[in-house]
Amino acid sequence: MNNNPIIKVENLTHIYSPGTPFQVVSLEGISLEIARGEFFAVIGSTGSGKSTLVQHFNGILAPAKGKIWVCGADISDKRQRRDLWRRVGLVFQQPEQQLFEETVFDDVAFGPRNMGFDQDEVKRRVEKALQQMGLDPATVSGVPPFRLSGGMRRKVAIAGVLAMTPEVLILDEPAAGLDPQGRKQLMDLVEDFRREEGVTMVLVTHNMEEAALWTDRMAVLDKGRLVMEGSTREVFNKAGELRALGLNVPAPAQLMCKLRAAGKQVRTDVLTNEEAVEEIARLLSET
Ligand SMILES: Nc1ncnc2c1ncn2[C@@H]1O[C@H](COP(=O)(O)OP(=O)(O)OP(=O)(O)O)[C@@H](O)[C@H]1O
Ligand SMILES: [Mg+2]
């Protein structure tokens, strides 16, 4: 593992409403590291603590117990945590509900303005971020966000974070609720941004195909605990364990597992359709 991780979590515990009858221990004893430049996924069933975990990465939440360092800052320290929003961008689950400015331009400009850039630089950043999200600045800048479709509002919300050019970009279910074409388009745009800007990415997702296609390494949460961590291929090769946690492996890997169960000697650690096709072609050529 990289000696100098950009995010390091040590024995993190988080409790919502501590000391009240509503107390929830949402994370317990989590330790993990994310390397600079890595595309990291956090998966797990509903309520497993994914959103709670990633909200610690830009200092919105502070640990009840344990330590977290992000970009060298110790986030238990209020002063060090304060400036993290400039360097670590978090796009919340359903961010389209958080657009509150009168125009798309003002919404995307919110972050860069707070960072203290002058008007020209703010404009340059807003236009670039809208373009990076596949939106035409001339068409959408003056539109009130509520007039846009859900998918477009989502893109505007993401653009608002891209406009701050963060070192780490955290996306909590960015493509949830979009149709398959919309999902693919959004993830392609995100991947282009990642490559262009060289950012470290953390993706929270329920979509296993997406995790398989894009990410290098993954953490799997279950009831607030870290139950697996490893390369995406390693984790998805544990179909049985994932199933026991209520999770699936990507469809191509499911197919390989079924072929294996039927006695065919195929690799089960495939991640994509292309890899599955290759494996089936090999099987056919041998028979
Ligand atoms: N603001 C809150 N106050 C109290 N409990 C909360 C709060 N937010 C989350 N929880 C609880 O903490 C646990 C973890 O929730 P979290 O939202 O992190 O899960 P998640 O993995 O992101 O779920 P999902 O896949 O549904 O988004 C759950 O039991 C949830 O009910
Ligand atoms: Mg969540």
* Chain segment 236-282, per-residue pLDDT in tens: 999 999 999 999 999 999 999 999 999 999 999 999 999 999 999 99
Res 3 pLDDT > 70? no
- Ligand 1 within 6 A of CB of 26: yes
Res 2 pLDDT > 50? no
- In a domain, residue 228? The reply is no
Sequence-ordered list of residues with C-beta below 8 angstroms from that of 21, at least 6 positions apart, any chain: none
- In a domain, residue 139? The reply is no
- Ligand 1 within 6 A of CB of 225: no
- In a domain, residue 8? The reply is no
- In a domain, residue 238? The reply is no
254 Cα to the center of ligand 2, angstroms: 25
* Chain segment 40-81, per-residue pLDDT in tens: 999 999 999 999 999 999 989 989 899 999 998 999 888 888
- In a domain, residue 199? The reply is no
CA dist 285 and 274 (Å) reads 16
Are the CB atoms for 216 and 234 separated by under 8 Å? no
CA dist 93 and 192 (Å) reads 21
- In a domain, residue 277? The reply is yes
CA atoms within 13 A on the CB side of 6: 21
* Chain segment 145-191, per-residue pLDDT in tens: 999 988 899 999 999 999 999 999 999 999 988 888 999 999 999 99
- In a domain, residue 283? The reply is yes
47 Cα to the center of ligand 2, angstroms: 7
- Ligand 1 within 6 A of CB of 93: yes
Q: How many domains are contained in the chain?
A: 1
- In a domain, residue 53? The reply is no
Instruction: Please give the average per-residue pLDDT across 138-151, as a whole number.
Output: 93
Instruction: Please give the average per-residue pLDDT across 19-27, as a whole number.
Output: 94
What ligand is nearest to the CA atom of residue 49? 1
User: Residue 280's domain spans which residues?
Assistant: 250-287
